[in-house]
Amino acid sequence: MSGNNDNLRVIYDHLYLSKSRCAGLRLQTVVLNANKLQNQKHLLTLVTTSLSIATMQPAQSFLLYTAIVITLFVNGNHQNAQLTVHSKVDYSEFKKSVNSHKNLLIKHPTKDISNYLFKLVDEDIYNYWAGTPWEFYGTAQQPKAGGIACGYFVTNTLTDLGFKIDRVGLAEVASGVMIKKLCVGIESFNSLKKLNRYLAKQPINSVFIIGLDFHTGYIVKTAANCYFFHSNYIKKEGVVMEAIDTSQALSTNKFFMIGSLTANENLLRKWIAGKPVI
């Protein structure tokens, strides 16, 4: 970071879905006057990260959301980011964008499709649905517009992403039935320790469906950790994403069935092609 402390440096960082097949990374830097800063020794860096779905032609990319991170520098010393703001399009528009742009991946390697699904669940679905309340009979089809039960949270969000499944039927059967219809690499365990050992061997950027004694949700494995993404019935907390080693819903459970969505190549290809999954 060069220049004087009277400037704000704004970096527009466009990341594309597949760096190997697309334009990759584009950076544009704009320097703005910041004379109104009360303390001229403070330098604010505004980083706008735009995650886009792109084809070989960047002009065809579609902006899904923008994350704005403001990081404070004091006398050249970096401090923790103080603010993160997500500017999202309307949920109905988001669903339309997914439906139209997933078709661009038809000729892409399965890994690109898998990474796209991971991004949608880990980031977009979370950003929209987090905080939606849990209800035992909840069937809400819009984030924060009513309660949502655990099974319906999984099937409603998959339907919203364009998976042609029996949304109601799969939500109301035992979670093991749903897992067997949608996932591959299915395993069952009688302890959280064994589940952790299984997850340790799985690739990062993976999405799983997990079934518990009387509960279900997603497991998301990132480069940093594994998270339980679910409509939490405990204290009616609702939709949360929590590290698996801190999840009360997992720690108090005795039976675990898990299978991978992102490793199911047949399911991914049908999804992208707009064909019924089951």
Q: With H, G, I as helix, E, B as strand and everything else as coil, classify residue 42.
A: strand
Q: Give me the percent of the chain exceeding a pLDDT of 90.
A: 66
**pLDDT of the residue at 192:** 96
Distance CA 181, CA 211 (A): 13
**pLDDT of the residue at 4:** 37
Domain match, 122 and 192 both = yes
Does a structural domain hold residue 143? yes
Last residue of a domain, one of 33, 58, 88: 88
Domain match, 43 and 143 both = no
Whether pLDDT at 275 is above 70: yes
Does a structural domain hold residue 2? no
Domain match, 82 and 148 both = no
Does a structural domain hold residue 212? yes
Whether pLDDT at 61 is above 90: no
Does a structural domain hold residue 1? no
Query: Would you state the structure tokens that stand for residue 103, as one six-digit string?
Result: 């078709």
Does a structural domain hold residue 278? no
Report the number of distinct structural domains present in the chain. 2
Domain match, 75 and 99 both = no
Domain match, 48 and 130 both = no
Domain match, 147 and 114 both = yes
Q: Which of 14-23, 156-165, 171-180, 231-240 has the lowest mean pLDDT?
A: 14-23
Does a structural domain hold residue 157? yes
CATH code at 251?
3.90.1720.10
| Residue of higher predicted confidence among 233 and 67 | 233
Average pLDDT, the chain: 77
Does a structural domain hold residue 214? yes
Domain match, 175 and 52 both = no
The pTM assigned to this predicted structure is 0.72
Query: Can you say whether residue 169 is alpha, beta or left, with left for phi > 0 and alpha for psi between -120 and 50 degrees?
Result: alpha
**pLDDT of the residue at 87:** 55
Other C-beta atoms lying within 10 Å of the C-beta of residue 173? 13
Tell me the pLDDT band of 23, cut-offs 50, 70 and 90: very low
Question: Could you list the residue range(s) of the whole structural domain that residue 138 is in?
Answer: 94-273
Domain match, 140 and 22 both = no
Domain match, 188 and 78 both = no
Whether pLDDT at 29 is above 50: no
Does a structural domain hold residue 115? yes
Q: Per residue in 109-155, pLDDT tens?
A: 999 999 999 999 999 999 999 999 999 999 999 999 999 999 999 99
| Residue of higher predicted confidence among 115 and 88 | 115
Domain match, 123 and 189 both = yes
**pLDDT of the residue at 48:** 33
Domain match, 150 and 56 both = no
Q: Which of 89, 92, 93, 115 is nearest to 20 (CA)?
A: 115
Domain match, 149 and 265 both = yes
Q: With H, G, I as helix, E, B as strand and everything else as coil, classify residue 28.
A: strand
Distance CA 46, CA 201 (A): 37
Q: Which of 145, 134, 136, 141 is nearest to 155 (CA)?
A: 141
Q: What is the mean pLDDT of residues 201-211?
A: 98
Inter-axis angle of helices 110-119 and 265-273, to 10 degrees?
A: 80
| Residue whose pair of structure tokens reads 């996932």 in the numeric block | 183
Tell me the pLDDT band of 278, cut-offs 50, 70 and 90: confident
